[in-house]
Structure 1
Amino acid sequence: MSAPDTRYLFVYGTLMSGARTRLGAAERLRLAEQSDSLGPASLPHAKLYDLGRYPGIDCSGGLDDIVHGEAVLLADAAATFAWLDVYEDCAPADRTSVTSAAVYERVVQQVRLAGGETFDAWVYVLCRVPQDARRIDSGRWNDGAA
């Protein structure tokens, strides 16, 4: 099975252009250099969790669940994901060498821009929701509190 062909990425935490955390600062700048922001976006049917210094998403939400973030268009998706998957502690795409230490997997989900346009974008989702993770009901990560 081949990887989906999309250069869109949905970010919702330390990589958002407006984030102000030290965690991810260098990666946020690097992502900004390698992409164009399309502005605010949302991911329907998803739940957002506070994992301490950063958030995580579970895509098994209901009709009323939504996560708010930002969509970006990557100039060179393969080059960006080469370093971004490492930063995100992402499980390998082939899933044959997944360890219990992997935090995220990168999957394609349909996202919606603020203006209503929808498209497929890569999203880093949790491999498993930690038992002690607190759900963020608003679907918006407040990096000032993290």
Structure 2
Amino acid sequence: MKKETVLIAAYGTLRSGERNERFCRNAISRRNATIPGTLYDTGWGFPAFVPAGKTKVTVELIEIPIRDWADVDRLEGYPRLYDRVLTDFRLPDGSTVQAWIYIMNHLPEQAKIIPSGDWKAR
């Protein structure tokens, strides 16, 4: 049977209450998780995640219908601006789950680290 949904990790404007949340309007579920790395404010109104670093970066794991993934890819500028990687995320109960995360290909010079690792708490 073909998988009909995909699990993506949103750390910026796709999260609940953020301006691009509408791209995930058909979400089946949303739950919080973390991943080690570094979160940057690009200076362009959206963040970038880099897997290097040890900050606990806050993400929202969003299960969306596979048909909506192409719209998210376009928003993220995949594969030109961001690549996407399947990786492990830690849930609040300590268990792990795999999801897709978008990783910026080249950080802009003006990018600044978000020390909290949380776009909403920048």
TM category, shorter:
0.7 to 0.9
Residues 43, 110 of structure 1: 8 Å contact kept? yes
Which of residues 16, 29, 32 is equivalent to 2:22? 29
Q: What's the counterpart of residue 6 of structure 2?
A: 7
Q: Distance in 1 between matches of 2:97 and 2:74?
A: 25
Report % sequence identity: 31
Of residues 92, 97, 106 in structure 2, which corresponds to 1:128? 106
Matched, 1:70 2:79: no
Give the unaligned 5+ runs of structure 2. none
What letter matches 2:13 in structure 1? Answer: T
Q: Give the superposition deviation at 1:140.
A: 0.6
Instruction: State which of 61, 73, 88 in structure 2 corresponds to 1:85.
Output: 73
Which residue number in structure 2 is paired with residue 107 of structure 1?
Answer: 85
Q: How many residues align?
A: 117
3-state SS of 2:107 partner: coil
**Aligned mates of 2:12, 2:95 — CA distance in 1:** 22
TM-score scaled by structure 2? 0.85
Structure 1 ranges of 4+ moved more than 3 A = none
Q: TM-score, normalised by structure 1?
A: 0.72
Distance 1:11 1:110 in 2: 13
Once residues 107 and 119 of structure 1 are traced to their aligned partners in structure 2, the CA distance between those partners, rounded to angstroms, is 13
Q: Who wins on radius of gyration, i.e. which is larger?
A: 1
Matched, 1:50 2:50: no
Structure 2 Cα separation of the partners of residues 88 and 30 of structure 1: 11
* CA–CA distance in structure 1, aligned partners of residues 29 and 94 of structure 2: 18
Q: Which residue of 2 aligns with 1:60?
A: 52
Structure 2 CA distance, aligned partners of 1:139 and 1:129? 16
Which has a greater percent of strand?
Answer: 2
Say which SS state the counterpart of residue 81 (structure 1) adopts.
Answer: helix
